[in-house]
Amino acid sequence: MSTDRSTLTPKEREKASVFHSWSAQSTIDPLMIKDAHGVYVTDIDGKTYLDFSSQLVNTNVGHQHPAVVKAIQDQAGVLCTIAPQHGYQSRYRAAELILDHSFDGAAKVFFTNGGTESVEHAIRMARLFTGRQKVLATYRSYHGGTSTSINLTGDPRRWPNDNGTSGVVHFFGPFLYRSVYGAMTEQEECERALASLENTILFEGPTAFAAIILETVPGTAGIMPPPKGFLKGVRDICDRYGIVYIADEVMCGFGRTGEWFAYQNYHVKPDLVTFAKGVNSGYIPLGGVVLNEAISASFNDRVYPGGLTYSGHPLACAAVVAAIEVMESEHMIENAKRIGIEVLRPELEELAKKHKVIGDIRGLGVFFALDLVSDRATKEPLAPYGGGSPAMNEILAACRNEGLLIFNNFHRLHVVPPCNVTNEEVHDGLERLDRALSVADKYYVGT
């Protein structure tokens, strides 16, 4: 039945017709966007925001990069879509560029529509390759919102979706600031986390595990770079028990940490790599799995039981090619690393001297988190695990008033601008954040 919507505002029409993800529908208050360019987003009322969220940490080359936009336009003029059983240039060229920046021994790329499907297929590949069922994942992780990936996820979004039949076994990864191992140093945290992982394998059955999946640097769960030696230790454990090591690089890949893939910071070689988001800055939905030679070869003479109608969509792959090429030509990976070392970390540390609610600063590249607390001694978070708080709501409102878009999860703020952000844009964003955090100072109760 037709409805007269002419009297409704754009936001009212949005709320009346669109079902929003991860939300109670009556409480949503979407920012209505008109356009975006570079690191700036403009709403329909003409207010411009500095985008320090990179949306969902995926616009790695910024908004509306002209080379990527043109590549999509050019591809649309030639081939908008084709069934995935056919071959075409944009897809094989995208795969070649991804492999060129992957680990030694990376053989092929399987394309999906996004990150959660990449995880689903990586797990399926590992199970078929090993003939085993169980999979290890950490608490404080996010791997996606579909059936297997949400069960792998370690944050509270899993709880209402966990049917207990997915074969997932969780363990605590290393996180010194909120250590569950009573560690006092990074080395202790590393050793105890590895010991816990191996004990979990031994008590669950060493021959039961197909894979372990780890966000190389956990993203949504708190941007927690692993301690030196942890990922190498995981690699050794996987080799010891014949377990496939899956590096989840959906958020932390493609320049976010100052390397093409985050695992390259730690000099380890995974067996499978999941990716999405930054591979083409999210301009057209696309994800995928990088397979090593052994797993790829195992499907040479048997059918891989999986596929998608839009696997390696021509428009999405054209965006991949353009995004990777501009990241190379404009030296965005190097810029992200430099910004993290020379600008973001030192300026965030200065911010922490001014605002005691900043209990911890973590990150690398253009991938940082501020752990907000009401007491640095007790590390009491400014919002409970799995929820929000008046304090965090006030901070986020202040950020919006300052024209700053920032990523928030529970008691944390994530500072995650694009990989091509400039020194001046970082200075501007952190000045806005400084002013916004002043509303939180009254919530600090420690000494």
All domains of the chain in start order, with CATH? 10-64+331-443 (3.90.1150.10), 67-329 (3.40.640.10)
Cβ(221)–Cβ(146) below 8 Å: no
Q: Is the pLDDT of residue 380 over 70?
A: yes
Q: Which of these ranges, 89-98, 102-111, 148-157, 288-297, has the smallest mean pLDDT?
A: 148-157
Mean pLDDT of the region 268-297? 98
Residue type, 69: V
Residue type, 111: F
Three-state DSSP at 215 gives: strand
Spatial neighbors of 125 by CB under 8 A, at least 6 apart, are 110, 244, 272, 289, 291, 295, 304
Cβ(151)–Cβ(136) below 8 Å: no
Query: Global pTM?
Result: 0.97
Mean pLDDT of the region 185-204? 98
Q: Tell me, what's the pLDDT at 165?
A: 66
pLDDT tens by residue, 10-59: 999 999 999 999 999 999 999 999 999 999 999 999 999 999 999 999 99
Q: Is the pLDDT of residue 65 over 90?
A: yes
Q: Which of these ranges, 109-123, 163-177, 327-341, has the smallest mean pLDDT?
A: 163-177
Cβ(278)–Cβ(60) below 8 Å: yes
287 forms beta bridges with 112
Spatial neighbors of 32 by CB under 8 A, at least 6 apart, are 10, 11, 14, 43, 44, 45
Higher pLDDT, 246 or 5: 246
Closest to 154 in 3D by CA, of 164, 169, 165: 169
Helix (H) or strand (E) holding 116: helix 115-130
Q: Tell me, what's the pLDDT at 3?
A: 80
Give CA–CA dist 150/429, Å, rounded: 33
